[in-house]
Amino acid sequence: MAQAEFERKKTQGPQGFDSGSYREAKPAAARALSPLQQKLAKLERALPKALRSRAAALALALLVLCGGAVGIGGAKLRARYSEAAGWYTVGAPGDNGYNLNEELNLRANTAANVITTAVNTPGLGADAPAVTAAQVALDGFTACQEVLDEGGAGMHEMYRANEALGAAVDLLYGELQALADDPLNMGAVGQQYGQFNSAGTILGSLRYNEAVAAYQAGTGGPWASVLKGLFGVGEIEVFG
């Protein structure tokens, strides 16, 4: 009896689970990555192994998000800068087509005509101090114009050059009047001097400075300064 019981137990299979009792685990379906996650994954793979951590991933996420914000802000800032920079030649809002560039050109041309008249006037000539001073002022004026026309900064210098030219031409015209038979009827040179002063009056009444001040107020601050540096956005100066 005992021997039979022993044999029966011996012939029973092994207790517990055999290898066939385990079900093979199904592979988990891969989650689709968003474009941002794909970009982060690519950046993370490019990192050294020691930097592939959750902290590094978070830093990269912030970097990508901030980069997008800089791009949006920078594009808007660049557009505003391009518009403001164009006011020099097309005129600021409210100036009805009058602009600094044309009025400054008129000042330069009429000043040159007054100087030419003085050079050819007996009693003055090219070596007269008033003529020399006016020519020096005109040379400085046109040098500032060239810088602005090439897109460079220097509106403050242009303003000072315009003031210097105005004073020099006023002095020279006074000497021409002193030599004229009728100081109140100066003919062609009188017309040139009148246009010179008219352009100066328009320059003083333009709304350019108001528009630039509003632009500066709207694009100031530390963050805007960073964007200006990143996107090569220059400063817009008032004429003064």
pLDDT tens digit at each of 240 positions of the chain: 444 444 444 445 444 434 444 344 445 555 676 665 665 566 566 655 555 555 555 555 544 444 444 454 567 877 888 899 999 999 999 999 999 999 999 999 999 999 999 999 999 999 999 999 999 999 999 999 999 999 888 999 999 999 999 999 999 999 999 999 999 999 999 999 999 999 999 999 999 999 999 988 887 655 455 545 554 567 889 999
- As to burial, measured by CB atoms within 10 angstroms (0-12 exposed, 13-18 middle, 19+ buried), residue 43 is middle
Contacts of range 193-198, beta carbons closer than 8 Å, 24 or more positions apart: 193/110, 193/114, 193/169, 195/106, 195/110, 196/106, 196/107, 196/110, 196/111, 196/114, 196/169
Distance CA 101, CA 192 (A): 18
Of residues 183, 236, 227, the one with CA closest to residue 77: 227
* CB count in 10 Å sphere of residue 153: 13
Helix axes 208-218, 54-90, angle to 10 degrees: 180
* Residue tagged 């960073």 (tokens): 226
Task: Please give the pLDDT value at position 69.
Answer: 42
Contact 114, 173 (CB under 8 A): yes
Query: Is the distance from CB of 123 to CB of 179 less than 8 angstroms?
Result: yes
Look at the pTM and tell me if it is higher than 0.85.
no
Ordered domains of the chain (ranges, CATH): 37-96+208-231 (no CATH), 100-205 (1.20.120)
